[in-house]
Amino acid sequence: MMRARMRVRSVSRMYLVAAFVAGRSAFGQPLPSGPSEAPTALPAPAPATPAPAAPLSASDAVRAWDAAYQHARERLLAGDFAQAAQLFYQLVQSAPDPVRRWAAAELGALSADLDRRQLAFVSREELAETTLSAKAIDQRTTDEISILYLNAVFYGLGTGAWVAVQTDAESAPAVILPALAFSGLAVGGVALADSQDLFAYGVPQSIVSGGYIGLAEGIAWTFWNQARVRFFDEWDEKTIATLIWGATSLGAVAGGVVGSLVGTTPGRASYVGSTALWSGLVLGLSAVSLTENEATMDDNGLLVGALALNGGAVAGALTAGHVAPSIARVRFLDLGGIAGGLLLGGLYVAAADEKTEARPAAACVAAGAVGGLTAAWFLTVNMPRDIRPDERRATAPMPRTLRYGLAPLQAGLGLSMSGEL
């Protein structure tokens, strides 16, 4: 027993001596440098280092890349352009082949451009838009249908007056009641046609413009006939009323037919009416100012004005498509003509006072109208044009910048083209 104990002690002593020589304790830790230093507690074991993951195979790497590409694409479609751009640029660095690298680079550039422009995807529902058919796109505007309703009231009143003249009405009810009835019928007819979607874009304004041209024609020819014949050969009231009412009705119908068959816009239809009326007025006044014989002055002015109405309408119809003015621009042109005529004509009357004469007065009004129309034309030349819906689709602008690129494919090369509108 004693020998065994001595043998164990000898072995332990030898182990400790060997450990001391190696500079390590029996637990694998460095020994203290001095005799006074001694470890107070056992140190915690170092954390185990995880084994490195096995590298992905080529097919697994492609699947992982495709999944990341799909995630970046979803971020693009969700409108998160900044994050999508970052993800796509990371995919460019890790693309397994040139085709995938090109796809990631293109979508990355697109995402970055959308983020730079501060754009966003908005649904049609959020914009209160609905899917429109081609017929619905070519629908009349609220402004022009309201103008047609207003002129339908005037047309009904005029029709009532025509009936009163034809029936020799003498009492107030016989004059007022037909006028009110025809006004209601005219408005109701417009409402019925509008409920059936019979008015295309620009047609209501075309009806109104045609009616005013016909009205001016009827008045001009009536006064010309009354001025050129003797008192006993003048037309009677019923003939005059029929001519004016018939010309107005015929002009409105012609305007609606032409607008429906040929196609127009509110601005173009209003432009044709303005060119006709201003041509008749300016050339008629010019004829008055150039006629020396006072007896034939009004005859010449009315005849030239009536003919100029037709010429102005034809000229307006031929140039309306090229000018394509908005209805707002046409109203500014009319305002310029009215202001110029009143200004120059008023200045002449004020300067001449009691010596005012017809010829110089007519010349001043005509010159002032031309000046006002010209000034308004140049002042409004940069106003937006009024384009028909079918013309917008046919003349859609091509991309301003085009970029071409080649991408390697398994069977050869692919050509890409991109641009910015």
pLDDT in tens, 136-154: 456 888 888 999 999 999 9
Share of residues in the chain with pLDDT > 70 (%): 75
CA distance 242 to 214: 12
Cα angle 271, 275, 281; round to 5: 145
* The pLDDT of residue 63: 85
Predicted TM-score (pTM) of the model is 0.61
* The pLDDT of residue 47: 52
CA distance 178 to 401: 65
**SS3 of 385, please?**
strand
Q: Does residue 7 register a pLDDT over 50?
A: no
* The pLDDT of residue 55: 58
In the 8-state DSSP scheme, what is residue 234?
A: S
pLDDT 10s digits, 23-69: 444 334 444 444 444 444 444 444 545 545 555 567 778 888 889 99
Nearest CA to 343 among 358, 360, 364, 359? 364
Q: Where are the alpha helices (DSSP H) in 196-293?
A: 203-228, 237-262, 266-290
Nearest CA to 283 among 196, 225, 370, 405? 370
pLDDT 10s digits, 361-398: 999 999 999 999 999 999 999 998 888 766 655 444 44
CA distance 291 to 402: 64
Residue-range domain boundaries for the chain? 60-116, 200-388
**Residues contacting 195, CB < 8 A, separation 6+:** none
DSSP bridge partners of 401: 420
Cα angle 178, 181, 182; round to 5: 85
Q: How confident is the model at residue 411 (pLDDT cuts 50, 70, 90)?
A: low
More confident residue, 18 or 70: 70
Strands (E), 247-312: none
Instruction: Note whether 186 and 162 are within 8 A (CB).
Output: no
